[in-house]
Amino acid sequence: LMMTQKALPHLRQTKGSIVNVSSISSLTTLPNTAPYAVSKAALDHFTRCAALENAPYGVRVNAVNPAVILTPIIKDPAVSMEQHAERLQGSPTICAISNASRAIRTAGI
């Protein structure tokens, strides 16, 4: 929010874009994720509000909502990243792609 506020004068002059990184957790419920999910839902709502408020100035505001991203923070410390990726492959997911993504692939979208 604060970064957006600070950047908006420049973005309005240059007709720039903002891309917020949210999560599929903002759109669905999973056990033990309330604080994370609520913060991402708030980010999605902020994104929609900022998009409407800044469209007249030529500023686009969007969000990406990735599902599972393979990072060290989500894996069991007792297994390697490769083993963790194998566990997630083909498991039931809530996204169209039936496997976990890597950060570099998501960033390339």
Residues assigned a catalytic role: 36
Q: How far, in Å, CA of 71 to CA of 84, rounded?
A: 10
Residues 6+ apart with CB under 8 A from 96: none
Pair of tokens at residue 74:
């989500």
Kindly calculate the radius of gyration of the chain based on its CA atoms and give it in whole angstroms: 17
Q: How far, in Å, CA of 75 to CA of 72, rounded?
A: 6
Q: How far, in Å, CA of 46 to CA of 4, rounded?
A: 10
